[in-house]
Amino acid sequence: MSQKKNKPAGTDAAPDRKSERIAKVLARAGVASRRGVERMIEEGRIAVDGKVLDTPATLVTTTSGITVDGQPVDEAEPTRVWLYHKPVGLIVSHGDPQGRETVFDVLPKDMPRVISVGRLDINSEGLLLLTNHGGLAQYLEKPSTGWKRHYRVRGHGRPDSKRMEQIRKGATVDGIRYGAVDLEEEESAGRSNRWYALVLREGKNREVRRLMEFAGVQVNRLLRTSFGPFQLGKLPAGAVREVPRAMLRQQLGKKAAEFGLT
């Protein structure tokens, strides 16, 4: 007598759908990036049919029966992207241990669950991309995508010209290697403050602040003005604007179909 094999979760609900790893399915549903979902599984936050998962190797065909922090996960919606003008004082995180207010606490209530493309720290402001597709968020964060991030920075102190040149070519600060950065000094903002324009191709944690401190400049304002082809423009602080699907298809090119933007 043959032994019956265990079927992936959700198979009965959608027998004609292909089984996929749960991280991919939840990323598409906007829960988190695939790596983020894997971390959530390690933390015991995800369950299937009431059973808490201990491995990301679980195969599913649908979000039916999946819960995150005890809450059911909706099926994936069509892929969408928004521009958000993040103000100073908000955390870019879905939960803060210190109880501080997050970007996701103040977004319009009619928006679906979204993920940020990269981050801005609590004291930084400007353009933040948001999407309901975790796989797309992860793709857009990669340096290989080729999308540059533009910043304007105001800082106090006289910069060290030799270190500024190092930054332009690629500097190592506290053991961390940073890629080449376009860095130009703009106008003076007072006796001791000056504005600088920076263009990054990566976007490592607190990269702008660390590089400017390395050059002898203490940053007191940091504003991201663009991410790839998307511009902050005159979008007011705290405002959200959706990117048209046609523009997303155009900018993603051949990759658009991979993220459901056909």
Helix, coil or strand: residue 166: helix
Q: What is the pLDDT of residue 234?
A: 96
Q: What is the pLDDT of residue 217?
A: 96
Q: What is the pLDDT of residue 144?
A: 85
Backbone angles phi, psi at 35, to 5 degrees: -65, -40
Which one of 110, 121, 174, 182 is the catalytic residue? 121
Side-chain half-sphere CA neighbours of 221 within 13 A: 12
Three-state SS letters, 214-256: HCCCEEEEEEEEEECCEECCCCCCCCEEECCHHHHHHHHHHHC
Q: What is the pLDDT of residue 189?
A: 60
Q: Does this chain's domain 81-144+230-259 share its CATH topology with 148-227?
A: yes
Q: Cα–Cα distance between 182 and 203 in angstroms, integer?
A: 13
Q: What is the pLDDT of residue 82?
A: 98
Q: Mark whether 121 is an active-site residue.
A: yes
pLDDT, one tens digit for every residue, the chain (262 residues): 333 334 445 444 444 568 899 998 998 888 888 888 999 999 999 999 999 999 988 999 989 899 999 999 888 889 999 999 999 999 998 878 888 999 999 999 999 889 999 899 999 999 999 999 988 998 998 888 889 999 999 999 989 999 999 999 999 999 999 999 999 998 776 677 899 999 998 878 899 999 999 999 999 999 999 999 999 999 999 999 999 999 999 999 999 998 888 8
CATH for 81-144+230-259 (3.90.1150.10, 3.30.930.10, 1.20.200.10, 3.30.70.580): 3.30.70.580
**Of 93, 109, 222, 95, the residue nearest 156 (C-alpha):** 222
Is residue 236 within 8 Å of residue 85, measured between CB atoms?
yes
Q: Cα–Cα distance between 189 and 183 in angstroms, integer?
A: 17
Q: Cα–Cα distance between 224 and 153 in angstroms, integer?
A: 9
Is residue 14 within 8 Å of residue 62, measured between CB atoms?
yes
CB atoms within 10 A of CB 133: 25
Q: Taking the domains of the chain in order of start, what are their residue ranges?
A: 20-72, 81-144+230-259, 148-227
CATH topology of domain 20-72: 3.10.290
| CATH number of this structure's domain 148-227 | 3.30.70.1560
